[in-house]
Amino acid sequence: MSDRDPFEEIERAFDTLSEQFGVDLDTVPTDILDEGDAFVVHADLPGYDSEDIDVQLVEERKLTISADHSESTEATDGRYVQHERRRQSASRTVTLPEAVDEDGTSAAYEDGVLTVRLPKVSVEGDDGTDIPVN
């Protein structure tokens, strides 16, 4: 019989996977779409509720998504008592290619996917500045 801890073996396998294939299991998978006038970020966050998710925009270009969920259950059956706890968290920061307008941002969470819409900063008349010649 082996004295190996099976959970330690699983942890070691995940570490090897992360090192060899660049898979970070604590990060949030994201897609960033450029729709011309806005960036749309889709982030996979299955198993969370909308109140577990925090979205922040820093310096008009850095979007940080973090999620933290914990729950506790307790069951009693005769002289046996069971108390289980579960906690999961994930986060991701992405740098957008252009500045966005923080006033027009919006976020929605549905079916485990967070969608954040970030309108680009409007630069009207960006044809340069006319300099009169005397």
Task: Say how far residue 82 (Cα) sits from the centre of its chain.
Answer: 33
Task: Say how far residue 124 (Cα) sits from the centre of its chain.
Answer: 32
Q: Which residues have CB under 8 Å from 3's CB, separation 6+?
A: none
Q: Where are the domains of the chain?
A: 26-119
Q: How far apart are the first and last CA of the chain?
A: 94
64, amino acid identity? T
> What is the spatial distance between Cα 59 and Cα 65, in angstroms, rounded to a whole number?
15
Segment-wise mean pLDDT, segments of 10 residues, the chain, 134 residues:
67 62 65 93 91 90 89 70 75 90 91 93 59 59
Residue whose pair of structure tokens reads 């801890």 in the numeric block: 5
Predicted structure pTM score: 0.65
Q: What is the CA radius of gyration of the chain?
A: 23
Assigned CATH topology for domain 26-119 = Immunoglobulin-like (2.60.40)
pLDDT of 12: 72
pLDDT of 126: 52
* Size (the chain), residues: 134
